[in-house]
Amino acid sequence: MMCVLCKHGETRPGHVTVTLDRGVTTVVFKGVPADVCENCGEYYLTDEVTEILLERAERAAARGCEVEVLRFAA
């Protein structure tokens, strides 16, 4: 697909690092599958992947974590 941000690059399957902040909690997910723009690096996640990330970030925040780094696994 054409990148919505730069409007010049095409996206390709790849993996990215996603950082989510929830209050005082920061969760870093590594190896997240995404479509990545070959021009600007903007990435697009599927609804399923987004749901998984948000759920795991909520659990980390509920445990009171300040920083958590996770390897993505569906």
pLDDT at 8: 94
Share of the chain above pLDDT 70, in %: 100
Q: Is 59 within a domain?
A: yes
Listed in sequence order, the residues at least 6 apart from 68 whose beta carbon sits closer than 8 Å to its beta carbon are 25, 26, 27, 28, 60
Q: pLDDT band at residue 73, thresholds of 50, 70 and 90?
A: confident
- CA distance linking residue 53 with residue 59, whole number of Å: 10
Q: Is 27 within a domain?
A: yes
**For residue 6, how many other CB atoms are within 10 A of its CB?**
13
pLDDT at 70: 92
Domain that holds residue 63: 15-32+45-71
Q: Is 55 within a domain?
A: yes
Judge contact between 42 and 26, C-beta under 8 A.
Answer: no
Q: pLDDT band at residue 58, thresholds of 50, 70 and 90?
A: very high
Q: Is 54 within a domain?
A: yes
The yes-or-no verdict on residue 74 having pLDDT over 80 is: no
Plot region of 23 (φ>0 → left; ψ -120 to 50 → alpha; else → beta): left
The 8-class DSSP code of residue 13 comes to E
Number of domains in the chain: 1
